[in-house]
Structure 1
Amino acid sequence: MPPSPSPKIFTYGDFNLEAMCRRASALRQGLSCTCDPDQRPASGSFNWAIFLSFEDGIRWVFRSPHHRTFMPIEMGKRLLASEAATLRYLRAHSDIPVPEVYDYCASSDNEIGIPFLFMSEAPGQPLSKVWRPAGSPQPSLKTSSKAQVLSQLGDITWKLSQLRFNQIGSLFEDNESFEIKECLSRGHMLHERYCLEIPRGPFASEAEFYDSLVSAFSEEAEILQLSHHCFVAPVPSRDDYESRTHFEGAMELWNDFVTVGRKTDSSDNRLDYIIAGDALRDIVQKCALPAVNHETFPLCHPDLSVNNIYVDDDYNITCIIDWAFASSIPESMLLSVPGLPQYGDEIAPELHLPFIDGFIAAIPGSIKESSTRGYRESLERGQISWRLSRLLSMDSIADYALFATVWHFAHGANKAIGQYFVESRRSPHYIQLYNEVQQEDQPLSKIEKDEKDYFQNKDLRKTIAKKLTLMSEWKSQYTVDQSQRLRTDMFVASPYLWKWIQQCMQDWKEMP
């Protein structure tokens, strides 16, 4: 007879279920604990979780890191240990609503057999249940209710701003004491950045921290897969299109364009990002971002998305979960409106003020008026830091737009981005670097085969993508010979381009 299938509870990991229940029971002085083996674990990008029940009706969460190809298990263990320490620190030093950690072990060397974290269940429901993304067919939360949530997030951000450390890094626990060690921020860990040879802290200054992030940005551009990142052709955003049909049409055109020549991982695209990284290094060295206190560094939640904010039926925040990748950071990065509904989404302008007002209202009356004014000024300019952090972490679909904001903050209208890139592309330094990076490009035969497969029965779309590539001068950007140039400026594919092409295609179809 074939072996009986394993219970669903072991979908993501093989562990000792009985030992887990025994340990949980012992943590509650022997209170009986059960765990349904037929439950399918909840799963996120980096962890999976199951629920335990006690005889008095209390439920706990049991979490463990995934075995993922994009994140080694040893990194998952470090993240688990740091998150547990961060949650315990927050419970001990603030009233920010976070889960309670009852026990954890970042090693597999225990009776349960895997790294684990016992924690309380978050009360309420995730904000994602009611806060819909743009273009969703279901009704979203009213603006007034969103403002209520943002005001509370402002209050929580004030509390985080008072949890300060002398270094920038992530929290770890050792013999019931807390210590800042290496920085496990998203910008240092995600997109396979964990494998880069960059400084990882702890950092004694903002300058060291930003220099490390710029190094990660530039090295990712040079040697790692760039996925959807094409500097001069940002991924279309749903917010820029009137209908889902127009947005999907723009996505098709974008995919066509980047498929020709395999643009995203090409040497041309990589060099654009390297030039941007060099410019960012110069900007962060010369421009002081707004902050009240540059000497110490506040703790920050790394991903205040609607999935990680729990609310009750009246939209009062009941819990903030998922503190993996948390670290102390420069104050200017904390004092910015969070991206909602997801980490990389820029929130609507009308919701900035409730967040700022919530932060200011939380400041005690004993704080000097000059400090309060300084906080308000920093908050009002916080989107510069928000955009810089998203750009350096490559947690965006619109890198060029983020870069333009940071560039104009530093240079004003005195120096054009297009001119800077055109001049840089023609410089001997970048032409030499381009020739070196070009050695890692895919063979032309492989690129042409992939194009042929992709554009099968799509002749018109192929023609448009090829013509657009020609007009962009994609393959003549980093060359010494300037005699055959079609363009004298920098090509950037904006939403207007995709809308114009769609209109032309529609007019063509309607021609008699």
Structure 2
Amino acid sequence: MASEHSTIQLIQKESKIRTPRVHMLELDANCPVKAPFMLMDCLPGNVGMDLDMKIPPERKSAVFEQMAEIHIEMFHLRLPKIGIVVGVNKDGSYRQGPIPGLGGPFDTAADYFRAWAKKTKFGLSKNQLQEAAGSHADEILESTSSFLTLIHKAADRLSLNNNGPFPLCHGDFGHNNMVFDDSYRSLGVIDWEAAFAAPYEISGEFPLSLSVVPPAIDVPWDYDEGGRPKRPEDIERFADRDTYIAIVKQKEEELGLSGECLLSKILEDSDRQYLASALRLYKRGKPAWYSRLMEGFLKHEYA
């Protein structure tokens, strides 16, 4: 809660991203209400998923534009290390702390990925995986273990920008945490409790509204011989991702942004996009052939 409050302070001071105003923060469990709490404004709208689980086709263009503007702003909020925001110093700089479950703050992206490989557990137990994956369970279990080994060994090669400063990552960004009015005009972004300064590839991952299962780790029968998706919903999702990249590029041009570390360039790097998605899905416990993704990634890196 303290980190979320500090992150909101950073966002409100350093960007135009709208967030609820915090009126009071109480971290003492022995306070009069007997629980820590944060008192903040209620944005007078609905999160996108309450309006519709999927973005309506006629609203996609407007929502993607608003999403891109927020994503670009977050991506250009930079901090010296990889870690959560834990406070504000008297000089206005921000103190960083360890990421829950991983540690840190980390000086490099490689340090972050090594810690991730060492400390992250697959989101399903062996019995749960057996139930979910059936006859493929043993193969997938071996793949999940190999994935961690490959991440650790290749940690120095996983990010295009190993050193800081590092961009802010919301941790759960998509229309699920954007508040809209009934006309799908964005009123703000909520739920910053998982936010941290992250490697570029993690901060630059597509919003969850546009997330896909990386083809390399997915069931092969959902793709044709050229690796293209067969299912109509997947075909639509990949087309939406292309649209989002085009919108981000346009917004970056309008803002006069240039250089190698642009959000659009991260979005276009499919190998690293799929890597970021695989890390998220692994932690969640999605049964998949994770080691295949890293094997393909390394083949491209060393080609």
The two structures have a TM-score, normalised by structure 1, of 0.48
What's the counterpart of residue 230 of structure 2?
none
Q: How far does the alpha carbon of each residue in 1:184-238 deviate from its partner, in whole angstroms, 9 at most, with x for none?
A: 3xxx3xxxxxxxxxx5001010011010101123xx35x98356446xx9x5xxx
What's the counterpart of residue 357 of structure 1?
246
What's the counterpart of residue 116 of structure 2?
213
What's the counterpart of residue 419 of structure 1?
none
- Verify: 1:389 aligned to 2:299, yes or no: no
Map of 1:5-404 to 2, 5 A cutoff? 80-132=1-53, 141-173=55-87, 178-184=94-100, 188=101, 200-217=103-120, 220=121, 225-226=125-126, 228-229=128-129, 235=132, 254=133, 257=135, 271-285=142-156, 287-290=157-160, 294-340=163-209, 348-363=237-252, 367=256, 369-371=258-260, 375-382=263-270, 383-391=273-281, 393-400=282-289, 402-404=290-292
Kept in 2, the 8 Å contact 1:152–1:358? The answer is no
Cα gap change, 1:387/1:116 in structure 2, threshold over 3 Å: closer, same or farther? same
Q: How far does the alpha carbon of each residue in 1:439-494 deviate from its partner, in whole angstroms, 9 at most, with x for none?
A: xxxxxxxxxxxxxxxxxxxxxxxxxxxxxxxxxxxxxxxxxxxxxxxxxxxxxxxx
SS of corresponding position for 1:318: strand
Shift of 1:379: 1.7
Equivalent-residue separation in structure 2 for 1:379 and 1:95 (angstroms)? 22
Shift of 1:295: 2.8
Shift of 1:362: 3.0
- Bigger relative contact order, structure 1 or 2, given CA contacts below 8 A and separation 6+? 2
Shift of 1:399: 2.9
Shift of 1:344: 7.7
Shift of 1:142: 3.0
Kept in 2, the 8 Å contact 1:171–1:179? The answer is yes
The two structures have a TM-score, normalised by structure 2, of 0.77
Q: How far does the alpha carbon of each residue in 1:228-269 deviate from its partner, in whole angstroms, 9 at most, with x for none?
A: 446xx9x5xxxxxxxxxxxxxxxxxx56x58xxxx68xxx86
What's the counterpart of residue 229 of structure 2?
none
* Matched residue type, 2:247: G
Kept in 2, the 8 Å contact 1:153–1:358? The answer is no
Kept in 2, the 8 Å contact 1:333–1:389? The answer is no
Shift of 1:174: 5.3
Equivalent-residue separation in structure 1 for 2:56 and 2:13 (angstroms)? 35
Equivalent-residue separation in structure 2 for 1:141 and 1:181 (angstroms)? 35
Q: How far does the alpha carbon of each residue in 1:268-293 deviate from its partner, in whole angstroms, 9 at most, with x for none?
A: 865543222112222333x34345x8
Kept in 1, the 8 Å contact 2:107–2:163? The answer is no
Equivalent-residue separation in structure 1 for 2:203 and 2:76 (angstroms)? 11
Larger radius of gyration: 1
Q: How far does the alpha carbon of each residue in 1:339-358 deviate from its partner, in whole angstroms, 9 at most, with x for none?
A: 227x7877711111332233
What's the counterpart of residue 74 of structure 1?
none
Kept in 2, the 8 Å contact 1:339–1:345? The answer is no
Cα gap change, 1:96/1:404 in structure 2, threshold over 3 Å: closer, same or farther? same
* Matched residue type, 1:408: G
Kept in 2, the 8 Å contact 1:151–1:354? The answer is no
Kept in 1, the 8 Å contact 2:6–2:88? The answer is no
Kept in 2, the 8 Å contact 1:123–1:319? The answer is no
Equivalent-residue separation in structure 1 for 2:301 and 2:275 (angstroms)? 19
Q: How far does the alpha carbon of each residue in 1:61-109 deviate from its partner, in whole angstroms, 9 at most, with x for none?
A: xxxxxxxxxxxxxxxxxxx111111112111111112111111122213
Unaligned runs of 5+ in 2: 215-233
Kept in 2, the 8 Å contact 1:131–1:141? The answer is yes
SS of corresponding position for 1:394: helix
Shift of 1:298: 0.8
Map of 1:408-427 to 2, 5 A cutoff? 408-412=296-300
SS of corresponding position for 2:87: strand
Kept in 2, the 8 Å contact 1:344–1:395? The answer is no
Equivalent-residue separation in structure 2 for 1:226 and 1:306 (angstroms)? 33
Shift of 1:146: 2.5
Q: How far does the alpha carbon of each residue in 1:288-328 deviate from its partner, in whole angstroms, 9 at most, with x for none?
A: 4345x843101111012443221122222212111112100
Kept in 1, the 8 Å contact 2:114–2:152? The answer is yes
Q: How far does the alpha carbon of each residue in 1:25-61 deviate from its partner, in whole angstroms, 9 at most, with x for none?
A: xxxxxxxxxxxxxxxxxxxxxxxxxxxxxxxxxxxxx
Cα gap change, 1:206/1:84 in structure 2, threshold over 3 Å: closer, same or farther? same
* Matched residue type, 1:289: S
Instruction: Say how many residue pairs are matched.
Output: 278
Kept in 2, the 8 Å contact 1:127–1:309? The answer is yes
SS of corresponding position for 1:155: helix
Kept in 2, the 8 Å contact 1:127–1:310? The answer is yes
Kept in 2, the 8 Å contact 1:290–1:381? The answer is no
Cα gap change, 1:328/1:368 in structure 2, threshold over 3 Å: closer, same or farther? closer
SS of corresponding position for 1:404: helix
Cα gap change, 1:209/1:95 in structure 2, threshold over 3 Å: closer, same or farther? same
Equivalent-residue separation in structure 1 for 2:184 and 2:280 (angstroms)? 27
